Amino acid sequence: EIPEELTENEILEIVAQFKMGAEYAKEAGFDGLELHGANGYLIDQFLKDATNIRKDKFGGNIENRCRFPLMILDAFIEIFGSNRVGIKITPVGRFNDMFDSQPFELYKYFLKEINDRKIAFVELTRAPDFRPVPNLYGIKSEEQIEDLYETFRSFYNGVLIGNCNFTIEEAEESIAKGKFDMISFGRLFIANPDLVPRYKNDWPLNAPNHTTFYTSGPEGYIDYPHY
């Protein structure tokens, strides 16, 4: 199946669908929403110039490529308020074949726009990816931007959450040094439903079974043992 470029009307329809999803989430009692703007999903596809080759107002220059993601953020803010909305981004992530030729310029602009909206947080996923990813572009993530925090902190003054392969020791050190306000854990929580007491008591951790990620059924989903 070959993807087709969305029409401008279809883009507006998708923004409306995101807004409807936010309305349903609020009705269901959600405290807030995080927009997934990373890892090659739709938001990321519009941001990165390797995937966004549009010639209209949603593609081309950086401002145009940021238009669709910012429209969705604005829709979320309209429903929840800016202090209940966050976003996850991967400026140099390679997951799902993502790449941008000028990530500094792109995310400098994008983060300044986000900062103006005074949202609750930005979750910044660093390089390298958690597993070796084939590089179609001949440039490693860290070759483009070695330290995401040092690079982008000055463009966003809200809550900054570090993400990707942090140990508890590195997380505590990063927060103590003021690099991040929080650290998020994903795969370790999948493998350790009792991650918090394990860390509190210095208990050993279960190792994540990567072969079961994104599959159906209980294996790798609800069968990891508690300590």
pLDDT at residue 129, rounded to an integer: 53
pLDDT at residue 136, rounded to an integer: 80
Mean pLDDT of the chain: 94
pLDDT at residue 130, rounded to an integer: 52
pLDDT at residue 133, rounded to an integer: 65
pLDDT at residue 132, rounded to an integer: 61
Q: What average pLDDT does range 155-173 have in this prediction?
A: 94
pLDDT at residue 139, rounded to an integer: 84
* Nearest-angstrom CA–CA distance, 39 and 129: 10
pLDDT over 70 at 81, yes or no: yes
Q: What is the pLDDT of residues 110-144, one digit of tens each?
A: 999 999 999 999 999 987 555 566 668 878 888 89
* Nearest-angstrom CA–CA distance, 141 and 120: 27
In this predicted model, which residue has the larger pLDDT, 205 or 139? Answer: 205
pLDDT at residue 85, rounded to an integer: 98
> Would the pTM count as exceeding 0.95?
no
pLDDT at residue 126, rounded to an integer: 86
Q: Are 131 and 94 in contact (CB under 8 A)?
A: no
Selecting among 41, 107, 137, 227, the annotated active-site residue is 41
Q: Are 25 and 78 in contact (CB under 8 A)?
A: no
178 pLDDT band, cuts 50/70/90, is very high
In the annotation, is 221 catalytic? Answer: no
Q: Are 78 and 21 in contact (CB under 8 A)?
A: no
pLDDT at residue 142, rounded to an integer: 85
For 201, half-sphere exposure in the C-beta direction (CA atoms, 13 angstrom radius) is 9
Q: What average pLDDT does range 176-190 have in this prediction?
A: 94
pLDDT at residue 95, rounded to an integer: 83
- The contacts of residue 43 (CB under 8 Å, 6+ apart) are 35, 36, 37, 68, 69, 72
pLDDT at residue 161, rounded to an integer: 97
Residue written as tokens 């000055």? 154
